[in-house]
Structure 1
Amino acid sequence: MHSIAVTNQKGGVGKTTITAHLAVGLARRGHRVLAIDLDPQGYLTRHFGLKDELYRAERDNLALHLTNDTPGEVVDLAVETDEGVDLVPSNYDMRGVADALSNARNRERRLQNVFSSLSDDAYDYLVVDSPPNLGVLTDNAILASRRLLIPIQAEDSSLDALEMVLDEVEEIEVAFDIDIEILGIVPNLVPRDGVAKSTLETMRSTPGLEDLVLPYEIRKRADIKYAMRRGETLYAYNESSDMISVFDRLAEDVERSVN
C-alpha cells in the first residue's frame, strides 16, 4: 500500500485538482484508491460532489480519529465516489483539529496511526490532500505518507513557497529520523505566456530542482474549474480535454516511481 501526500504551504496552486485527478487516474489504471481530505476547507470533498459530508458532525469522522483514540478503522469513514475512488471526507469538525493537537503527545503521528488501522491489501494507494499551510496537519500528511507531490504555479512567488516546503521536509526528516521521497514538483495552472515559460526554465535549471520539476505541466483550462463546480474531475466532465493525457502521464509516473 503506497501513501502519497499532495502538499504546498502556498494556497491557490491547485493541490486539490492534482489530488483528485491523480486518485482517479490511478483508479483508471486498475488500482484501489483511497483519497483523504485533510484540509478543513474540504475542497477535495467538494471536488467529488460530496459537499453534504462536510456538515455531518453527528457521525464518526476523521477529526475524531485524529484527536481521540476513536475505535474503528479509517475504512469505515470512506465514502464511495462516482469515479471509482473511495474518499475519507473532511468535516467542519476538522477546523478545530490543529488547536486540539497543539499540546498533544505524538501530535504529528496521528494520521500515521489512523493509516495503521488499514490492512495492507485494503487499498493500493492512499492519496492525501493537505491544507494550504505549514502546520500540524501538513506535518501529519508528510509523516504518514513519506512520498510527496508538490504542485507549484509558474510564478516567482512559487520559488519562495517551494523553498519553505523543502525546508519543512528536511526538518521532519531530521526530527523523526526518516527519509521522505519527493516524487515530483508539478507545474500546475500554467498559462501560455512568457513569464510562465521563463519561470519554469529557471526552476528546471536550479541546482537541486532540475530532477524534481516534472518535464510537463498542467495547463490552465476553464474546464477544470467547470468540472470542480459540478463535483467532478475532467475524466467525468470532459474526457476529450487535452489535459487528460497529462493527468494520465502523472498517474503513470507515480505508479512507476513507487514500484
Structure 2
Amino acid sequence: MSYRISVSNQKGGVGKTTICLHLSVALAKRDRKVLIVDLDPSAYLSAHLGLDDYYYDENKNSLAYNLVEGPQSNPEDVILGTEEGVDVIPSNYDMRGVEDRLSAERNREMRLKMFLDNVDEGYDYTMIDSPPSLGVLYDNAILACQRVVIPIKDEDMSIVSIHRALDEIDELEKAFGTSIEILAIVPNLVRPDGVAASTLERLRNTDGLKEYLTPFEIRQRVAIRRSMKNRTTLYKHKASCDQVENFMKLADLVISKCEGGSKNGE
C-alpha cells in the first residue's frame, strides 16, 4: 500500500513545489520508495527535475491522457526515474487543458485516484504536487490522497488562505463522504524579521490551526533558491545547509503519522 499525500495550497507563491520535492527526496533518504506526481499544469516540479523536454513531447500515454481518457493498458510507462532517488510522473503541455476536458465527465473528481490505483502499488509514498488554485485537479489531488501537507508563508494572508483551504477540505469530506487527514501545516520561506515572527505567533495561537503547525519552519535560504534554479535539490547542491535538517524532520513527522513508527529511520 502506498501512502498518498497531496502537497496543496490554493494560494500561489508559498513554495509548494519546493516542499513537495524536498519532502519526497527526504522520504527516499529514509529508505522509502517514492513516486511524485506533478499535477500542476505549470510543471514547475518537472522542470526542476530537468524534464523540460518531456513537457513539449507529443506523448499520447501522458498523465493528461490517462486522466481524461481513463487509465491506459500500460499506465506505468509514464513513470520516469531521476537522479534524486525518486520516480516521477511529469506534467506536460496537455495538462493545461485537462480541467476543461474533465468538466463534463463522470467521476471527474476521482480520475487521479483511478489512475494511481493502477500505478503506485509498489511505492511506499506517492506525493502529489497539486495546482495552486481550486478546481477539478485540486479536488482530484485531495480525494486521491486523503492526506494533506499544507505549506504556508509567514504573512497575514496565510491565515486567511489556510482557513479557505480547510473549508475546501471540509466541503470535499461532506460531498464525498470521506475523511481527509491534515498531516502538517508547514511554514515555508520564513524570513528573519518581526513580521514573520508575529505571523507565526498568531498561527501557533489560533485554534483549528495550531494543532497542525509543525514545531519547526523551513527558513528562507539562498541555497534553496539556487538549488531549484540549477535543477537539483538542496541535498545535492548544498547538503551542509541548515534547512536540510528541517526537511528531514518533516519526513520523520510524515512517517510517524502515516506508519506509526513501523519502519526504521524515524
Output the TM-score relative to the length of structure 2.
0.95
Task: Evaluate the alpha carbon distance shift between residue 200 and residue 103 of structure 1 in structure 2; reply closer, same or farther with a 3 A threshold.
Answer: same
Mapped pair 1:103 → 2:109 = no
**Alpha-carbon distance in structure 1 between the residues aligned to 2:181 and 2:84:** 28
Measured after TM superposition, the shift of residue 8 of structure 1 is 0.2
> Which one is further off, 183-192 or 43-52?
43-52
**Alpha-carbon distance in structure 2 between the residues aligned to 1:251 and 1:224:** 17
Mapped pair 1:232 → 2:232 = yes
Measured after TM superposition, the shift of residue 103 of structure 1 is 1.3
Mapped pair 1:22 → 2:23 = yes
> Which one is further off, 45-54 or 32-41?
45-54
| Correspondence for 1:174 | 174
| Correspondence for 2:156 | 156
Residue by residue over 1:135-156, the C-alpha shift from the partner in whole angstroms, topping out at 9 and shown as x without a partner, is 1000000000000000000101
| Correspondence for 2:135 | 135
Residue by residue over 1:141-194, the C-alpha shift from the partner in whole angstroms, topping out at 9 and shown as x without a partner, is 000000000000010111111111101000000001000000010000000000
SS of the aligned residue for 1:96 comes to: helix
| Superposed structure 1 runs of 4+ greater than 4 Å apart | none
**Alpha-carbon distance in structure 1 between the residues aligned to 2:149 and 2:126:** 13
| Correspondence for 2:59 | 58
Q: Do 1:73 and 1:118's aligned partners in 2 also have CA atoms closer than 8 Å?
A: no
Mapped pair 1:205 → 2:214 = no
| Correspondence for 1:250 | 250
Q: Do 2:40 and 2:91's aligned partners in 1 also have CA atoms closer than 8 Å?
A: yes
Q: Do 2:80 and 2:89's aligned partners in 1 also have CA atoms closer than 8 Å?
A: yes
Measured after TM superposition, the shift of residue 72 of structure 1 is 2.6
SS of the aligned residue for 1:182 comes to: strand
Task: Evaluate the alpha carbon distance shift between residue 41 and residue 235 of structure 1 in structure 2; reply closer, same or farther with a 3 A threshold.
Answer: same
Measured after TM superposition, the shift of residue 74 of structure 1 is 3.6
**Alpha-carbon distance in structure 2 between the residues aligned to 1:100 and 1:146:** 24
Task: Evaluate the alpha carbon distance shift between residue 124 and residue 241 of structure 1 in structure 2; reply closer, same or farther with a 3 A threshold.
Answer: same
**Alpha-carbon distance in structure 1 between the residues aligned to 2:120 and 2:149:** 24
**Alpha-carbon distance in structure 1 between the residues aligned to 2:157 and 2:148:** 20
> Which one is further off, 67-76 or 29-38?
67-76
Measured after TM superposition, the shift of residue 58 of structure 1 is 3.2
**Alpha-carbon distance in structure 2 between the residues aligned to 1:226 and 1:119:** 31
Residue by residue over 1:168-225, the C-alpha shift from the partner in whole angstroms, topping out at 9 and shown as x without a partner, is 0000000010000000100000000001001011011001111111111000011111
| Correspondence for 1:35 | 36
Q: Which runs of 5 or more residues in structure 1 are unaligned?
A: none
**Alpha-carbon distance in structure 1 between the residues aligned to 2:17 and 2:147:** 16
Q: Which residue type is aligned with residue 117 of structure 1?
A: N
Equivalent pairs, count: 258
Matched-pair identity in %: 50
SS of the aligned residue for 2:134 comes to: coil
| Correspondence for 2:264 | none
Residue by residue over 1:76-122, the C-alpha shift from the partner in whole angstroms, topping out at 9 and shown as x without a partner, is 211111010000000000000000011111100000000111363x1
**Alpha-carbon distance in structure 2 between the residues aligned to 1:112 and 1:100:** 17
Q: Which residue type is aligned with residue 227 of structure 2?
A: A
**Alpha-carbon distance in structure 2 between the residues aligned to 1:254 and 1:74:** 27
Query: What are the within-5 Å matches in structure 2 for residues 110-121 of structure 1?
Result: 110-118=111-119, 120=121
**Alpha-carbon distance in structure 2 between the residues aligned to 1:33 and 1:239:** 20
SS of the aligned residue for 1:241 comes to: coil
Measured after TM superposition, the shift of residue 59 of structure 1 is 4.1
SS of the aligned residue for 2:178 comes to: coil
Measured after TM superposition, the shift of residue 227 of structure 1 is 0.6
Output the TM-score relative to the length of structure 1.
0.98
Measured after TM superposition, the shift of residue 73 of structure 1 is 4.3
**Alpha-carbon distance in structure 1 between the residues aligned to 2:111 and 2:83:** 29
Q: Which residue type is aligned with residue 102 of structure 2?
A: L
SS of the aligned residue for 1:26 comes to: helix
Instruction: Report the RMSD for the aligned CA atoms in angstroms.
Output: 1.0
